[in-house]
Amino acid sequence: MGCHTILGEGAYYAPELTKVIDRRGDAYVKAVLMSKEPWQPRGRKMVAYAMSDADAEAVIAYFKWIGKIDLNGFDRVVSPLSKAKN
């Protein structure tokens, strides 16, 4: 809630996670969740969750479930702080 959003709720510092599996795929998300080192995409330091395989798979299952929700074309929220260009 302090960084990412889901279904548009939360902070706007980091990318929307509702469709993260569609954008990044299972392997990328799992690597982030299981990393023992802080992940630093685009210079932003994320938490090192160091999840177990089972916990990471459970989060991925949740992301897949929530990712099936029809967002009416509103598939991501772009933070004004984001360095990415659309």
Residue spans of the domains in the chain: they are 5-67
More confident site: 64 or 7: 64
Q: Does the model's pTM come out above 0.85?
A: no
Type of residue found at 27: A
CB within 8 A of 61, min separation 6: which ones?
none
Instruction: Report the pLDDT value the prediction gives residue 38, as an integer from 0 to 100.
Output: 87
Tokens linked to 68 = 């099936």
Q: Where is 9: in which H helix or E strand?
A: strand 9-10
| Burial class, 56, CB count within 10 angstroms (exposed 0-12 / middle 13-18 / buried 19+) | buried
State yes or no: pLDDT of 86 exceeds 60: no
